[in-house]
Structure 1
Amino acid sequence: MTEIRDLTDDEARAALVLKWGETEPGVIPAWVAEMDYAVADPILDALRAAVDRGELGYPAFPDDGGELGRAYAAFAADQFGWQVPADRVLPTADVTVGVRVALDVLSEPGPLVLPVPSYDPQHGLAQLTGREQWDLPVDPDGDDYALDLDALDDLFARGARTLLLTQPHNPCGHVHTRAELEGIRDVVVRHGGRVISDEIHGPLVLPGAEHVPYLSLDGTADHAVAVVAASKAFNIPGLKCAQIITGDEATTQRLLEIPMAQNDSWGSLGVVGAIAAYTQGGPWLAALIERLDQQRSLLATLLAEHLPAARMRRLEATYLAWLDLRAYGHDNPAEIIRAGGVRVSPGQAYWPTLPGHVRLNIATSPARLTEIVRRMGRALG
C-alpha cells in the first residue's frame, strides 16, 4: 500500500526552500501552500530519467494535445467522470499565468469580479490586464461559504464582464455543489459574461464532497475555461506546468493563435512531472486524501482543546484551513502567532480589509500539527 512519507525538518528545509528556507529557525512553517511530504516516487523517477536523457530543451506543443493532453484527459475521466478532449488541454506556466492569459485573450474589457477572501496571487490580476477588480465578499459570519447570487447579478448588471471562480476554494476549503455552480452559470449567461474557473485544488476534495468541474455543466462551453495543474495535489509547483482547459473549438483556436510570447514559459520537466502525476500518481493521491482527512479531524480536536474560540467552516477540500480568530482580539493574529513559534499566512493577504483571520496549512505530520496548534493557542491565549 502506498504511504505518505513525512519529511524530517532537515529534509523539508532542503526541499521546500521558500516555505521552510524563508522561515526563521525555531518557527514551524505553516504558511505557503506546499506539503511537508516527500514527492511520489513515480514522479521523481520520471524526472530523473528525463534529466539522465538530457531532456532540458524546449517542450513540444502539439496541436492535438499530445501526451500531456491525453494524460490529463484520462485523469479527469478517472477522478471526476469528466470527458475532456485531449486537444482542448493547452499548457501554460502556472494557474495564475493561465488566468491572466484567459483574461487577456478571451474576456471583454470590463471589471473582473473576485469573490473574497481569495488567495493573494489573484489580487492584482485585474489591474495587470487593464481592468478594475470588483470584490464579491462572502459573509465572514455565515456558517456556510456561499456566493451571493443577487450581488453577483448586480455586479454583472453594472458592467462586470468576467467572474474569477476558485473551486474548490482557497482559502475557505469549500467545494461548490452542482446546484451552486448552476446558479452561478445562470447569472453569467443572463448577462453574457465569462467565467475563468481556477480548479487547481480539484484533486484535493476530501470525503463527503465531490468536485464538479465547471465546464462539465451544460451551457458553459462557450463562455468559460478551467485552469488546472498537478502542482498542488502532487507537491510539484516548482516544475511550472499548468493547463488551460477549453470547452469548444472556437475558444481553443483563439488561444492557439496568440503570439508565442503571451504564453510560452512552461518547462519540459514540468510536462514530464505532470504526465507522471496524472498517469501514475493515483495510488499516492489516494493515500494523500486519506492523510488529509485524518489531519482535518485532528485539527478539529486540537482547535477545541487549544483555541476553543476559533471559528472554522468545515474543510471540504485542500489542506488549507481558514480560521476566524477575531474572538482573541488581534487585528493581525499572524504576527502574534509567529512570535509564538508558528508562521501562518495573514488573513489580510486574502481579504485586505478583514481583520482577525489566518490561513493555516495542515499538510504536515500529525506531531507537527499538534505542536503548531498548541503554540498558536499559547500565543493567543
Structure 2
Amino acid sequence: MIRDLTDEEARRALVLKWGMTEPGVIPAWVAEMDYAPADVVTDALLEAVRSGRTSYPAYEFGGELGRAYADWAARQFGHTVDPGHVLPVVDVTAGMRFALDVLCEDAPVVMPVPAYSPQLEVAEVTGRKRVDLVVDADADRAGIDLGALAGALADGARTLILTQPHNPWGRVFTRGELEGIRDVVVHHGARVISDEIHAPLVLPGAEHISYLALDGTAEHAVALVAASKAFNTAGLKCAQILTGDDATRDRLLDAPLARNDSWSTLGVVAAIAAYNHGDPWLAALVERLDQQRTLLAQLLATHLPLARMRPLEATYLAWLDLRAYGHDDPASICLSRGRVRLAAGHDYHPGSTGHVRVNIATSPARLTDIVHRMAKSLTA
C-alpha cells in the first residue's frame, strides 16, 4: 500500500522538501515522506473539491472531526477521548501558541532540548522566556531530568512543553516516565502542553500513552494531535487540541476568534478520512518505517561505524551523533561534499555541534544512497 514517489513526482508533490532543494541533491531534511498519499485521503479530498467544499470550516468542539478522532484514539491507543473535547487548530505549533496565550500563566516556559526547531521560538512569540532543559548528548536513551524540571519550576517557570513521541530524539516515553513528569508538574502547580503529533508513528517495540490518559492530568494539560504527519497532509492545515475537562475546553472556546481561526475545511476532510478509514494504510506505513529503521542501522554499521543512533522508537526521523568524525556541522559537510541535505543538529539545540537529523521515510534505494553520500563526505 506504500508507493514510493519518483524524483519527478516528489518535486511536484513535496514543494518544500524537494522543490526547495537543488536538483541532484537528495533531500532528507523536512519531516515529509517520499510516499504517495493514502487513497482514502485522496478520494475524500477529490469528492470534497467536486462538491465545492472550499468554504469556511465550522468553529466547534466535537462534531464529525471530534467523533472521528475519538474513535481513532480508542482503536490506536486505547485512549478514551470525549469527542466534545476536540477542537480544530491550524497546526500543532499554532495550537501550542494558542494554548500558551489562553491557558498558561505569564511566566517562563520549560523546553527540553534538542527540540523541534520551529517551537524553540514559541515562548518568545507569546512574550515569555524559554528555559532550556538540556538533555545529555552522551546519554544512551534521552529522557527528562526530573530534578532539573523541578528546579526550573521552583524558579518560576509555569509551563512544560512536552513532545512525545519526541522529535528529534525518536523517543517514546514510558508510563512511568510520564507519571514522574506529572507528579513534578502537579507539585509545582504548573501546566503541560503535550505535542503528540507523532503518536501514530510509534514503531514496533514501543507504545504511545497520551499524557491526558494519565490520572490527574485533565485540569493542567492539553494534548496536540494531527493526522498530518502520519498521512503526509501538512499543507492542508488541520490539527486538533484535546482537553481533559470542560473548564479547559470552555476557556479555549471562549477565546477571541482571531487567536484560532485559520484551519482548513479540506484539512478537516482529510483528517476525518484518515481517522475513519486509514488504519490499513497506516499499518503498512509503520511496517515500512520499521524496515527502514533496520536498514539504516545496518548501513551505519557498515559505512559510518562511529555514528551513534539512539534507539528510534517512533517517527521517521533519526537523530545521529556524528561528533566522532570531527565536524562541527556535519549537515553542511554532507551537503557540500555529498549532495545530500540533512537537518542540522544546531537547529534543534542552538550551540550544539556534531549532530544531524535524517529523514528515513523514503525508498530503500534512496536511504542507501543517503548513507553512502554521508560516509563519503564525512570520511574524505
What TM bracket, shorter-length normalisation?
A: over 0.9
Aligned AA (2:364): P
User: Which residue of structure 1 aligns with residue 206 of structure 2?
Assistant: 209
User: Which residue of structure 2 aligns with residue 357 of structure 1?
Assistant: 355
User: Which residue of structure 2 aligns with residue 112 of structure 1?
Assistant: 109
User: Which residue of structure 2 aligns with residue 39 of structure 1?
Assistant: 37
Report 1:249-264 matches (<5 A). 249-264=246-261
Aligned AA (2:199): G
User: Which residue of structure 2 aligns with residue 342 of structure 1?
Assistant: 340
Aligned residues: 378
User: Which residue of structure 2 aligns with residue 313 of structure 1?
Assistant: 310
User: Which residue of structure 1 aligns with residue 280 of structure 2?
Assistant: 283
Instruction: Kindly provide the CA deviation profile for residues 4-57 of structure 1, in whole angstroms up to 9, marking residues without a partner as x.
Output: 000000000000000000001111000000000000000000000000010000
Report 1:177-256 matches (<5 A). 177-256=174-253
Corresponding residue to 2:129 among 117, 121, 132: 132
Is 1:174 paired with 2:171? Answer: yes
User: Which residue of structure 2 aligns with residue 69 of structure 1?
Assistant: 66
User: Which residue of structure 2 aligns with residue 86 of structure 1?
Assistant: 83
Instruction: Kindly provide the CA deviation profile for residues 119-172 of structure 1, in whole angstroms up to 9, marking residues without a partner as x.
Output: 111111011111000000011001111111000000000000000000000001
Instruction: Kindly provide the CA deviation profile for residues 184-215 of structure 1, in whole angstroms up to 9, marking residues without a partner as x.
Output: 00000000000000000000000000000000
Instruction: Kindly provide the CA deviation profile for residues 355-378 of structure 1, in whole angstroms up to 9, marking residues without a partner as x.
Output: 000000000000000000000000
Cα distance in 1 for partners of 2:111, 2:12 equals 35
Cα distance in 2 for partners of 1:83, 1:176 equals 19
SS in 1 for 2:206: coil
Cα distance in 1 for partners of 2:112, 2:21 equals 30
Aligned AA (2:361): A
Cα distance in 2 for partners of 1:296, 1:100 equals 32
Cα distance in 2 for partners of 1:353, 1:159 equals 25
SS in 2 for 1:344: strand
SS in 1 for 2:319: strand
SS in 1 for 2:308: coil
User: Which residue of structure 2 aligns with residue 372 of structure 1?
Assistant: 370
SS in 2 for 1:114: strand
Cα distance in 2 for partners of 1:203, 1:254 equals 28
SS in 2 for 1:359: strand
Cα distance in 1 for partners of 2:60, 2:369 equals 49
Structure 1 residue 100, shift from structure 2 partner:
0.2
User: Which residue of structure 2 aligns with residue 147 of structure 1?
Assistant: 144
Cα distance in 1 for partners of 2:377, 2:42 equals 39
Q: What percent of counterpart residues are identical?
A: 69
Cα distance in 2 for partners of 1:322, 1:248 equals 36
Runs (5+) with no aligned partner, structure 2 = none
Cα distance in 2 for partners of 1:122, 1:58 equals 27
Cα distance in 2 for partners of 1:217, 1:7 equals 40
Instruction: Kindly provide the CA deviation profile for residues 192-250 of structure 1, in whole angstroms up to 9, marking residues without a partner as x.
Output: 00000000000000000000000000000000000000010111000000000000000
User: Which residue of structure 1 aligns with residue 22 of structure 2?
Assistant: 24
Cα distance in 2 for partners of 1:332, 1:371 equals 20
Q: Is the 8 A contact 2:60 2:87 kept in 1?
A: no
Cα distance in 2 for partners of 1:114, 1:198 equals 12
SS in 1 for 2:105: coil
Aligned AA (2:155): R
Structure 1 residue 281, shift from structure 2 partner:
0.5
Cα distance in 1 for partners of 2:216, 2:83 equals 20
Cα distance in 1 for partners of 2:321, 2:305 equals 11
Cα distance in 2 for partners of 1:267, 1:45 equals 17
Structure 1 residue 332, shift from structure 2 partner:
0.5
Aligned AA (1:25): P
Runs (4 or more) in structure 1 with deviation over 4 Å come to none
Cα distance in 2 for partners of 1:213, 1:147 equals 16
User: Which residue of structure 2 aligns with residue 4 of structure 1?
Assistant: 2
Runs (5+) with no aligned partner, structure 1 = none
Aligned AA (1:288): L
Corresponding residue to 1:56 among 54, 57, 74: 54
Structure 1 residue 353, shift from structure 2 partner:
1.3
Cα distance in 2 for partners of 1:299, 1:148 equals 29
Structure 1 residue 62, shift from structure 2 partner:
3.4
Structure 1 residue 61, shift from structure 2 partner:
2.3
SS in 2 for 1:124: helix
Aligned AA (1:221): A
User: Which residue of structure 1 aligns with residue 93 of structure 2?
Assistant: 96
SS in 1 for 2:131: strand
Aligned AA (2:238): C
